Structure 1
Amino acid sequence: MKWILVLIVVGLVLGGVLYWLLSQPGPRQLDIANNLIPGDGNARLLVSDQIYDEDQGLGLDIWAPRSGASQRLPVVVFIYGGGWHAGSKDHYAFAGRALAHRGFLTVLADYRLFPDARFPGFVEDSARAVSWVHDNIARFGGDPETIFLSGQSAGAYNVMMLALDRQWLGRLGKQTDIIKGVAALAGPYDFYPFDSNSTKNSFGDYHKPDMTQPVNFVRPDAPPLWLSTGTADTQVRPRNSRILHDRMLEAGGDAEYVEYPDMGHLEIMMAVAKPFRYKGPVLDDMVAFFDSRAAQLQAAAQAD
């Protein structure tokens, strides 16, 4: 009888844990699973909930390598996805940990979501986060002259707008040349007319819909782009990245395009987390892009 009671208690506890886990948002579940797998040990949460926008109460986290650095580190500002209506930097710690382990000071920033914000509110928030990083990251060991942007899905849209449309950083007294490269995962860049609930909610009321589309801002002097997508993505179809890549090249810009076979919309982000890196070399390819651009910047600085 005693063992039956023990088994019942253990079953209830495990059931409660499983219920709690499944009640968490998908990215949070992914972060929990990521923390259970060994690896990425050269990473630590350096700063938590640093406010970058007092008026909106928006914050950011900074992840850093554990090992000491003899010089300022390259910086990656990562903006999460979620259809502009869901998400939190706290759920994407696995991305901060992964990039910090690879040697980057990594910033995860929150931004306002629908219904609290519609276009251009979430782009303005992301611009303020990048502006704050440019002004302050040196205090934390980052190099303000080597700032990269990255994002997935809606977050990829946000960072792409900052890189291509000069006005958002320009309103804050910044130029887009503070961005040294953008690694974007499964982003929507050419999605007008708005035909989904998330795009109708977040963009449908804007009076100039053409001004919401990143493909309309391609230019030869834009920051270098690394555009990635999964061939099985039916939520944000690969044509978005492919069209932006082609138009950038036609304009004389710098862009790379990578397709991951049989990978869906969520899987491209899952592949950054330790349990699912077998799905494809997304993290390795992102880091290779950042490393190559950082090396070019370093070589140019030494030549000067």
Structure 2
Amino acid sequence: MSISRHWLCLPALLLLPLLLGLANEYAVARPSRRTQDLAYVPANDPTYDAERHRLDVYAPKEASVALHPVVVFIHGGSWNSGSKGFYSFIGRRLAKQGVVAVILNYRLAPQVEVPAMADDCARAVIWTTQHIADYGGDPQRVFVMGHSAGGGLAALLTADNRLFQRHGLARNPIRGAILDDPAGLDMYDYLQKMEYPNDAQYLVPFGKQPETWREVSAMYHVTATTPPFLIFVGGKTYPSISGSSRKFREKLTALGRPPQFAVLPGKHHIPMVLQLYWQHNVLYQQLLKFVGV
């Protein structure tokens, strides 16, 4: 789901602290340098999209000899909406705390299906490894992060090495993933069951072939060598997200790769990302340890 779609539906009591958070964004989180609208796919590429193949880089403002860890953030939006522009607060918060952040756009349904979205995100990560040193980031310490649909894509990038092998990389450059209330970890199971109203809408981004549902589900690609995961789930999120996240944790644990896993009591799906307005949020506290700040 996208933030914009639900903004006007938020309770008044929630809107007030968010507005304060927006004010705080400009008052406190400005010690960062933003470079906008960098193309991560060449303009002569047949798939090139002038709007969706773009990313923004947020770097700490103070110069440093040492390179910073890098977090590539993938937005949510039910695979059919969302934009990097909604999430500048995450880029600024991370940069303020010593992380170089990359916030990206990727193509959406109905223009493309999820395999193409995953390929876009992989190409953004590859661009990051090739260019992020120019912005003070360490190409050897690239992590991915995502909320909702973006969490499912981040998990897939971390687990499915073929997404990078197709572009000539011998090894997956991702060092770990931070999943914030991730959706789509096991769409093979989800779309076979069709348990919830309006589930047919997901046949637009995922198509109608079960083999494709499995291919784009991180659940079926994790191995004993998959990089580590840091996973946060809302205590009041959608049952499909809490259930698939639990199964994903169990799968990783059985492989000898138990993730860091936390359920945040009382949190619904959208507030799981909105809480990242606040610098000292528990997600940032754990993320900084995870990436080695």
Q: What is the aligned counterpart of 2:186 among 186, 190, 215?
A: 190
1:55-79 deviations in whole A, cap 9, x for unaligned?
2221000001111112111111000
Counterparts of 1:26-175 in structure 2, within 5 Å, are 26=6, 34-37=21-24, 38-45=27-34, 47-53=35-41, 54=43, 55-57=48-50, 58-175=53-170
Q: Which whole-Å CA distance do the structure 1 matches of 2:81 and 2:19 have between them?
A: 18
1:271 has 2:275 as partner: yes
Task: State the one-letter code of the partner of 1:202.
Answer: P
1:181-231 deviations in whole A, cap 9, x for unaligned?
100111121232323244222113235132222111120100110111011
Task: State the one-letter code of the partner of 1:42.
Answer: P
1:141-187 deviations in whole A, cap 9, x for unaligned?
21110101101011111111111111111111224541111001111
Q: Which whole-Å CA distance do the structure 2 matches of 1:267 and 1:193 have between them?
A: 23
Q: Given the two structures, how large is their TM-score scaled by the length of structure 2?
A: 0.83
| CA RMSD in angstroms, aligned pairs only | 2.4
Worse overlay, 207-216 or 106-115 = 207-216
Q: Which whole-Å CA distance do the structure 2 matches of 1:90 and 1:32 have between them?
A: 17
Q: Secondary structure in 1 aligned to 2:190?
A: coil
Q: Given the two structures, how large is their TM-score scaled by the length of structure 1?
A: 0.81
Aligned to 1:287: 288
Aligned to 2:228: 224
Count residues in correspondence: 266
**In structure 2, do the counterparts of structure 1 residues 24 and 182 end up closer, same or farther at CA, with 3 Å as the change threshold?**
closer
Q: Which whole-Å CA distance do the structure 2 matches of 1:71 and 1:182 have between them?
A: 22
Task: State the one-letter code of the partner of 1:201.
Answer: V
**In structure 2, do the counterparts of structure 1 residues 63 and 111 end up closer, same or farther at CA, with 3 Å as the change threshold?**
same
Relative contact order, CA 8 A, sep 6+: which one is greater?
Answer: 2
Q: Secondary structure in 1 aligned to 2:62?
A: coil
Q: Which whole-Å CA distance do the structure 1 matches of 2:172 and 2:162 have between them?
A: 13
How far apart are residue 27 of structure 1 and its match?
7.1
Task: State the one-letter code of the partner of 1:109.
Answer: L
For structure 1, the 5+ residue unaligned runs are 1-22, 295-304
Work out whether residues 74 and 105 of structure 1, in 8 Å CA contact, stay in contact via their aligned partners in 2: yes
User: Percent identity at matched positions?
Assistant: 26
Work out whether residues 75 and 147 of structure 2, in 8 Å CA contact, stay in contact via their aligned partners in 1: yes
Task: State the one-letter code of the partner of 1:86.
Answer: S
For structure 2, the 5+ residue unaligned runs are none
How far apart are residue 35 of structure 1 and its match?
3.3
How far apart are residue 25 of structure 1 and its match?
4.5
How far apart are residue 242 of structure 1 and its match?
1.6
Q: Select the structure of larger CA radius of gyration.
A: 1
